[in-house]
A and B are shown apart, each in its own frame.
Chain A
Amino acid sequence: MVEQVRKLLDKKLKNTGELEKLRQAVLDKRDTSRITVSVCGGTGCRASGAEAVVEAFAEEIEKRELQVKIDFKETGCHGFCERGPIVVIGPKKIFYQHVQPEDVQEIINETVLQGKVVKRLLYIDPATSEEITYESDVPFYNKQTRLILGANGEIDPTDIEQYIAAGGYSALSKALFQLNPDKIVNEITSAGLRGRGGGGFPTGRKWQSCRTAKGDVKYVLCNADEGDPGAYQDRSILEGNPHSVIEGMIIGAYAIGASQGFIYVRNEYPLAVEHARIALEQAIDYGFLGENILDSGFNFKITINKGGGAFVCGESSALIASLEGKIGEPKSKYTHMSEKGLWERPSLLNNVKTWANVPLIINKGADWYSKIGTAGSKGTMIFSLVGKINNSGLVEVPMGITLREMIYDIGGGIPNGKKFKAVQTGGPSGGCIPEQFLDTHVDFDELTKIGSMMGSGGMIVMDEDTCMVDVARYFINFLKGESCGKCVPCREGLAKMSDILDRITHGEGKPEDLDTMMDLAEILSAGALCALGRTAANPVISTLKYFKDEYMAHINDKKCPAGVCRELIQYSIDPEKCTGCGVCARACSMNAISGEKKEPHVINQNMCIKCGVCYDSCKFGAITKQ
């Protein structure tokens, strides 16, 4: 026990000199001749079986006593989730995709021991059909600027020494000893960093007002309550590089004079919670948190608070209510949180991505940072590129990149040769952007101009088979379920809007419904209490603006042009094309298809439940959907 305590105390870095010494020691210990094998342990890759791959590697390395030769680690999310589980072999970074446990022996035998490439595991560029060996040559990666996510693939998030070796906590020591709080705030301000949680509020201004706010006790908060469908950037950062967030928070706390911080993280992100917890413990052990941090006289500690599953708790005032132990409902923000926030005290709340940007800015300087991006939006933004797209995954790009570059160059375009229809950005309360705006430069202001928003960086791509009315219905329904129910416009308005959209998708829409929905949208944007309600009508407003003809088809012709809304479609068999093979009849669970062998079959419309199994099963394209 005494030994353990002593060991614990020994780890504590007493000043910056010791930090630099430790960094050098870790680097010196590294044998550059060793082959690095990093398996992506992000949530996406875990879902496709990365844990078994990790186990297989660990077993194989132990069995064959290869520890000396191989530097093996499970890292955070590499971003290219579509191709998971991903294994990258260093130092040259050979990129293997869809790796299964049975591939592990071959990778060790061929690549690790003989330096040969296992061709069948390589990524094949769909555009050129060429095999790509190295990670940096994969088009998905080489068009990105991975300032924040880059380290995810390099370090084991459960080992603070790897973060330190990669330059971690040097920004903290710079902030504590070379800068002062005012200079830190100035750096953040002149870097032009804007809040990555969605609002895009200038971070420096927020820090400044919190710094000047009166109060002995101030708080620093990290918003990791990411709840947008299809978005998982915050999760990946907290899972893959939790120390970058913690370092940012310590710097922020020093700048505004806070001694307590909170990370409010979704309970539905167990790995993020676990990695944040481990990181906090290690940061305490190494003396980056606690009393007299690196002998600067500054004290700071961080507590993790797990959310209770409400989307609205990502809204700052609801998050604070939840932290205080109250019902997670938003309050009006007529007094700024930087003056009266958590427990009525000045509080600095930033998103995970915003915090992760802080060490970068402090290390490399505001001048360097402000050169990246557009006039109004600086730095990079992480998007989760999902939906009908070839390369779904996490993408980090400089602000100002066009939607077309993101979707076609990085995302690899739309699968199966389908046509692009729209991209929904900014989470459920964002808008759907049609093809004519594909050359829009993505930043906070440009997206707002075309009726959408940056939000927390969700980007859902839709193809010609997506029904825009159904999309609006889905998002409104989601928001209806997540509305806290405090104010009338959001609670009642979204419920009524969802009723109307349900009716339209069921073929019971009336022409006057569109005006009613626009009226509801106005009530929401003008009258709702919080940002969730005020922006909730965006999916309806943007689809009505750009895809009104689809609404009209549903209402007037009782037809769903994309063939999605079940009540409005009919499957039938083209007797010219039907060979009478009977595959569809066997697939139909309702026995609605009948016909003689080798004769054209027919669908009994009264029995058909429009599941679409016949449509998918027919090899001759004889089944039509109208």
Chain B
Amino acid sequence: MTKYWVDGEKTIDINEADDVNSVCFTVDDKDVVVSGGQTILEAVQRTGIANIPALCYHPAVRPYGACRLCTVEVSEDGGKNFKFVASCLYPVKEGMIVKTSTEKVKKLRKGIIELLLARCPNTKIIQELAEEYGVEKPRFSVGDQDCILCGLCVRACQEIIGKSAISLVNRGIYKEVAAPFYAYELGEGCIGCGDCAFVCPTGAITMGDNGKPVLPRVKIPYAEIGAMKSEEKLLASQG
């Protein structure tokens, strides 16, 4: 049985790493030893032992657990009971058993991809995932958005750049990425670094001619109205 010791990029034999704070667990029937304090997804990605899809995860920012694609099954009682957990958030624990692609997990991912495809039918990364998981046509009403609300742009702007020039606003299906007060163009809060466009997994944020990002617009009436100036509102109300 292969044993991996992963620390940064170096893969070494387990016997050389006895004195380090290590956690030993199983991923898809393979034993893995990694340094403690990381999440399942981090450990799996670094070992390359399995392929877990994730859209809202980026190693540079704190995990968020929104897309749920990285869900895996985990047992902490030696395989008696398994539960679904988001691997991007779940910490590795000694002796745990992780299964990254059981039928149940695949079915769940397929369902999530179907929902994402219904929201963003024209987005390349979603189309690719749909093909991989065998989702043909969503059974639901189909939208035409690009943004999957993974929040990576918001987290990058806050955690890496320290500006918080954009935020997620509203709730439920009305949630969207917006500038303060729904401004059409980003104001002084934004330094135009392009980090948000860079981390965006779907390409929903692009850089505009003015050197500042153009945010995705969620096509819902009241957010649009909220962003209108009063004279525009008047014109709109007059038809």
Asked if A pairs with B, the answer is yes
Q: A residues near B, CB below 8 A?
A: 310, 312, 327, 331-332, 334-335, 480-489, 491-496, 499-500, 512, 516, 519-520, 522-523, 526-529
A616 to B60, CA, bound (A): 64
CB-contact partner of A526 in B66, B104, B141, under 8 A: B104
CB-contact partner of A482 in B69, B86, B172, B175, under 8 A: B172
Q: A331 — which chain B residues lie within 8 A by C-beta?
A: 65
Q: A526 — which chain B residues lie within 8 A by C-beta?
A: 71, 84, 104, 108
Most chain A CB within a 10 A radius of its CB, from B90, B107, B140, B174: B140
A338 to B149, CA, bound (A): 30
Query: Is A499 a contact partner of B112 (Cβ separation < 8 A)?
Result: no
Given contacts A480-B172, A482-B172, contact A488 B85 (CB under 8 A): no
B207 interface residue per 8 A CB criterion:
no
Q: B27 — which chain A residues lie within 8 A by C-beta?
A: none
Q: A500 — which chain B residues lie within 8 A by C-beta?
A: 140
Flag the segment in B29-37, B44-52, B114-122, B179-187 that touches A: B114-122
CB distance from B220 to the nearest CB of A (A): 12
Q: A487 — which chain B residues lie within 8 A by C-beta?
A: 65-68
How many A-B residue pairs have C-beta atoms within 8 angstroms? Tell me.
103
Q: B107 — which chain A residues lie within 8 A by C-beta?
A: 522
Q: A523 — which chain B residues lie within 8 A by C-beta?
A: 108, 111-112, 115
Q: B115 — which chain A residues lie within 8 A by C-beta?
A: 488-489, 492-493, 496, 523
B126-149 contacts to A, CB under 8 A, are: 139-141, 148-149
> Which chain A residue lies CB-closest to B115?
A492
> Which chain A residue lies CB-closest to B111?
A523
CB-contact partner of A491 in B64, B86, B104, B173, under 8 A: B173
Given A496-B118, A519-B111, 11 extra CB contacts under 8 A? A327-B168, A332-B85, A480-B173, A488-B66, A489-B115, A492-B115, A496-B140, A500-B140, A527-B84, A528-B68, A529-B65
CB-contact partner of B173 in A312, A495, A520, under 8 A: A495
Query: Is B171 a contact partner of A485 (Cβ separation < 8 A)?
Result: yes
Query: Is B172 a contact partner of A527 (Cβ separation < 8 A)?
Result: no
Query: Is B172 a contact partner of A484 (Cβ separation < 8 A)?
Result: yes
B170 interface residue per 8 A CB criterion:
yes
- 16 A-B pairs within 8 Å (CB atoms) are namely A327-B168, A332-B65, A335-B91, A483-B173, A485-B168, A487-B68, A489-B111, A489-B115, A491-B173, A499-B141, A516-B140, A522-B107, A523-B108, A527-B68, A529-B68, A529-B86
Query: Is B172 a contact partner of A485 (Cβ separation < 8 A)?
Result: yes
A154 to B172, CA, bound (A): 43
Q: A484 — which chain B residues lie within 8 A by C-beta?
A: 171-172, 175
Q: B69 — which chain A residues lie within 8 A by C-beta?
A: 488
A224 to B168, CA, bound (A): 26
A143 to B19, CA, bound (A): 66
Query: Is B108 a contact partner of A527 (Cβ separation < 8 A)?
Result: yes
Query: Is B85 a contact partner of A516 (Cβ separation < 8 A)?
Result: no
> Which chain A residue lies CB-closest to B107?
A522
B89 interface residue per 8 A CB criterion:
yes
Size band of the B side of the interface?
35 or more
Q: B residues near A, CB below 8 A?
A: 64-69, 71, 84-86, 89-91, 104, 107-108, 111-112, 115-116, 118-119, 139-141, 148-149, 151, 167-168, 170-175
Q: B91 — which chain A residues lie within 8 A by C-beta?
A: 334-335
Query: Is B66 a contact partner of A527 (Cβ separation < 8 A)?
Result: no
CB distance from B61 to the nearest CB of A (A): 15
Query: Is A491 a contact partner of B140 (Cβ separation < 8 A)?
Result: no
Query: Is A492 a contact partner of B67 (Cβ separation < 8 A)?
Result: no
Q: A485 — which chain B residues lie within 8 A by C-beta?
A: 149, 168, 170-175
Q: A486 — which chain B residues lie within 8 A by C-beta?
A: 64-66, 149, 151, 175
CB-contact partner of B116 in A335, A488, A520, under 8 A: A488
CB-contact partner of A310 in B168, B171, B173, under 8 A: B171
Given contacts A485-B174, A488-B116, A499-B140, contact A332 B89 (CB under 8 A): yes
> Which chain A residue lies CB-closest to B83?
A526
> Which chain B residue lies CB-closest to A490?
B172
> Which chain A residue lies CB-closest to B148?
A488
CB distance from A273 to the nearest CB of B (A): 23
Given contacts A491-B149, A529-B66, contact A483 B171 (CB under 8 A): yes
Q: B141 — which chain A residues lie within 8 A by C-beta?
A: 496, 499
CB distance from A532 to the nearest CB of B (A): 11
A597 to B192, CA, bound (A): 77
CB distance from B144 to the nearest CB of A (A): 14
Query: Is A332 a contact partner of B112 (Cβ separation < 8 A)?
Result: no
Query: Is A488 a contact partner of B112 (Cβ separation < 8 A)?
Result: yes
Most chain B CB within a 10 A radius of its CB, from A312, A485, A516, A529: A485
CB distance from A514 to the nearest CB of B (A): 12
A420 to B107, CA, bound (A): 39
A485 to B104, CA, bound (A): 24
Q: B65 — which chain A residues lie within 8 A by C-beta?
A: 331-332, 486-487, 529
CB distance from A607 to the nearest CB of B (A): 27
A492 to B65, CA, bound (A): 15
A491 to B66, CA, bound (A): 10
CB distance from B201 to the nearest CB of A (A): 13
CB distance from A266 to the nearest CB of B (A): 16
Query: Is B68 a contact partner of A332 (Cβ separation < 8 A)?
Result: no
> Which chain B residue lies CB-closest to A483?
B172
A8 to B68, CA, bound (A): 56
Most chain A CB within a 10 A radius of its CB, from B116, B119, B139, B149: B139
A493 to B138, CA, bound (A): 12
Query: Is B172 a contact partner of A495 (Cβ separation < 8 A)?
Result: yes
List 8 A-B pairs, minimum CB-CB distance, nearest first.
A485-B175, A492-B115, A523-B111, A483-B172, A496-B140, A332-B89, A485-B172, A527-B68
A543 to B66, CA, bound (A): 29
Q: B149 — which chain A residues lie within 8 A by C-beta?
A: 485-486, 491
A500 to B140, CA, bound (A): 8
CB-contact partner of A332 in B86, B118, B140, B148, under 8 A: B86
A246 to B21, CA, bound (A): 44
A284 to B136, CA, bound (A): 64
A484 to B174, CA, bound (A): 9
CB distance from B109 to the nearest CB of A (A): 9
Q: B108 — which chain A residues lie within 8 A by C-beta?
A: 522-523, 526-527
A493 to B173, CA, bound (A): 10
A148 to B167, CA, bound (A): 43
Q: B175 — which chain A residues lie within 8 A by C-beta?
A: 484-486, 491
A494 to B64, CA, bound (A): 20
Q: A519 — which chain B residues lie within 8 A by C-beta?
A: 111
Query: Is A482 a contact partner of B171 (Cβ separation < 8 A)?
Result: yes
Q: A528 — which chain B residues lie within 8 A by C-beta?
A: 68
> Which chain B residue lies CB-closest to A513?
B139
CB distance from A485 to the nearest CB of B (A): 3
Query: Is A334 a contact partner of B111 (Cβ separation < 8 A)?
Result: no
CB-contact partner of A527 in B71, B140, B151, under 8 A: B71
Q: A481 — which chain B residues lie within 8 A by C-beta?
A: 172
Most chain B CB within a 10 A radius of its CB, from A334, A335, A483: A334
Q: A334 — which chain B residues lie within 8 A by C-beta?
A: 85, 89-91
